[in-house]
Amino acid sequence: MRGIKPIKKVLVANRGEIAVRIIRTLREMGIRSVAVYSEADAGASHVAAADEACLIGPAPSAESYLRIDRILEAAEKTGADAVHPGYGFLSENSAFSAAVSGAGMTFIGPCPKAIQALGNKLNSRELALKHGVPVIPAVTEDKDREAFRKAVRKMGYPVLIKAAAGGGGKGMRVVHKDEDLEPFLEMAKRESQKSFSSDQVFVEKYLVRPRHIEFQILADHHGSVIHLNERECSIQRRHQKIVEETPSPLITPELREEMGATAVRLASAVGYVNAGTVEFIVDEDGHYYLLEMNTRLQVEHPVTELVLGLDLVAEQIRIAEGRPLRFKKSPEPRGHALECRLYAEDPANGFLPSPGRIAWLHEPSGPWVRNDCGVRSGSEVSSFYDPMISKLIVWGEDRPAAVARMKRALRDYAILGVTTNRDYLLDIIGHEAFAKGELHTGFVEQHLHGWKPGQGSLEAALIAAAVLPASRPGLEAASGGAAPRHDPWLTVGDWGR
């Protein structure tokens, strides 16, 4: 049994909103924080939030946030005794976990063995089959190209090419016909190599209109493994989640118990420790299959926090210190939570990223509204990284109340200087099918195909053009003097609709 080793200083090996979010919890726990940053992030919010910060390289992630040696040098230089990887970048890299532990520091996450067993989707499939966890039929890439193509044809189109490493929709392509298999395979491999330093992919049978349901796992060093119920993550664009909620409108108490037990069984099979997420796909007949297990904190973890009254980062740190779980099963959930991911991208133009300077940002507020944000007014949204800039999370006493609150919060959210998906999100949660809980991974393709911003967005742009130069500090020159005491934006109200 492992003894308790208190953590005193944590290096956060990440950037953006997740780094800011982790640093806030560290501050509440009285633990000092160290931020790392690339040259492009010198003025970033996570750098300002931390107690200390270290430059680790040029803007490209391959020369900074993916450099294990430079991150360890920063940890040694600042005297950090632990590292939190966040999500993305090196969070599911077993070599990073091993290197941190090898340097005498605590890795706030699972051990290298568990990451290797579960972080790679092909490995987790084999493990699942061994322990009776259902998986979707799949074909691995073969040097015998004709045999490989025949195996894919036998499985039947459409199929989904998936990167074996990482997540977040990177290295994924849907293939509908035989002639697209090879070119799409090469595209997926290049994207996977760029994102995860691995070009290993496989081909899986593509389920049409399934639900994406995941279970949050917590496990300690003392043999306790529990699940913290499910999250519904079916609203996606390009295989990337954009709206998440808990509880799922689909899941019955009986199905929750069954799927949760399956998730715990998979995690227990490898002696998993810390936070993780077991992801399932549920077909139209109600059958569920393992997608993967993410051996890290998920982007959408805040919805679980709001309905359970937990801080999952704090729980991660307590587990990493060697402390036992504080509960034997999930606390009783209360109400409903909903999360929307705000991206600097143009939904009307193929979701192309919209890098640039944020001229002004007005965050929504009010009871039961939380905004995990990685930018502020004046921040630069870099073309080098994922364009997600914040996560807006709300809680309500039930699902209709949470949806209504999210609508209000999104309408109160103003981001000027870059194009965002704010209005697109409003149209998703305002759709009749969403209100009915009729969700599936093809929701946006079915209901928002060819989406264009409404008249409200145009009116907001015209208002911004008229009042911004005269209303924002830092742009005084445009108005010939200091910004006026009265801010027109505060009286615009529902400015974007």
Collect all residues with Cβ–Cβ distance below 8 Å to 23 and sequence separation of at least 6.
Answer: 12, 33, 35, 46, 49, 50
Q: Could you say which residues of the chain have pLDDT below 50?
A: 458-459, 463, 466-467, 470-497
3-state secondary structure of 227: strand
Fold adopted by 9-108 = Rossmann fold (3.40.50)
Domain 137-205 has CATH 3.30.1490.20: yes
Segment 34-63, tens digit of pLDDT:
999 999 999 999 999 999 999 999 999 999
Provide the CB-side half-sphere exposure for 58 (13 A, CA): 3
3-state secondary structure of 281: strand
70 is catalytic: no
For the chain, the structural domain boundaries read 9-108, 137-205, 211-447
Task: Specify whether the CB–CB gap between 342 and 239 falls below 8 A.
Answer: no
Q: At what angle do helices 121-130 and 253-269 cross, to 10 degrees?
A: 110
266 in the Ramachandran plot: left (φ > 0), alpha (ψ -120 to 50) or beta?
alpha
Its CATH architecture, for the domain 211-447, is: 2-Layer Sandwich (3.30)
**pTM score over 0.75:** yes
Name the strands in the sheet holding 369-373, side by side, starting at the edge strand that comes first in the sequence: 288-294, 274-282, 211-219, 225-237, 240-246, 336-343, 388-396, 369-373
Segment 4-16, tens digit of pLDDT:
999 999 999 999 9
> Quick one: pLDDT at residue 73?
98
Q: Which of 15, 296, 405, 472 is catalytic?
A: 296
